[in-house]
């Protein structure tokens, strides 16, 4: 079993898609530690705001198999990977950390063709990833920087990025 720290986001029917994603995570992995869902401006393109959250799960899947499972969940919600890297999406779920593993774009035999997995994710620097993760795992230490998530958030250059709580996925489970 490994502990996976996930970042979730959506800007197409975001509340419905994130609620559905949390339900799928609970159905597959059991207990899910979930942050509040926040509204953040789109990053990398002009588009509707995103709803973003974080989750921590205990996974019986290795990071590559978990990534494949998460991609299938995104696909089931209508994710289209043929467009630009930064764009609208019904569901985006990334593994930000998996235990204290550090992987740099390595694939694994038997994984999806061309699959690369970077752990920790570079997107950790963005408020839409870091704020929700620091909320639910403030003492988790980033294996690259050696700093706790709470300290990374306290020193973040994006602390002033507007974010508004949208809903709590732990209410009404």
Residues with catalytic function: 79, 89, 92, 94
Start-to-end Cα distance in the chain: 24
- Distant-in-sequence, close-in-space partners of 86: CB < 8 Å, separation ≥ 6: 42, 43, 44, 45
The crossing angle, in degrees rounded to 10, of helices 63-76 and 14-29 is 140
- Distant-in-sequence, close-in-space partners of 58: CB < 8 Å, separation ≥ 6: 1, 2, 3, 4, 29, 30, 31
């Amino acid at each position: 079993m490994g502990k996976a720290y996930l970042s979730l986001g959506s800007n197409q029917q975001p509340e419905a898609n994130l609620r559905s994603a949390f339900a799928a995570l609970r159905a597959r992995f059991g207990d899910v530690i979930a942050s509040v869902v926040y509204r953040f401006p789109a990053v990398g393109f002009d588009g509707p705001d995103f709803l973003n959250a974080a989750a921590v799960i205990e996974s019986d899947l290795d990071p590559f198999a978990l990534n494949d499972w998460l991609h299938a969940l995104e696909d089931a919600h209508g994710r289209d990977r043929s467009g630009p890297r930064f764009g609208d999406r019904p569901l985006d779920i990334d593994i930000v950390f998996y235990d204290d593993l550090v992987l740099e774009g390595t694939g694994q035999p038997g994984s999806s063709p061309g699959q690369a997995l970077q752990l920790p994710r570079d997107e950790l620097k963005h408020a839409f990833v870091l704020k929700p993760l620091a909320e639910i795992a403030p003492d988790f230490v980033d294996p690259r920087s050696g700093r706790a998530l709470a300290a990374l958030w306290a020193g973040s250059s994006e602390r002033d990025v507007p974010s508004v709580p949208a809903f709590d996925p732990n209410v009404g489970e």
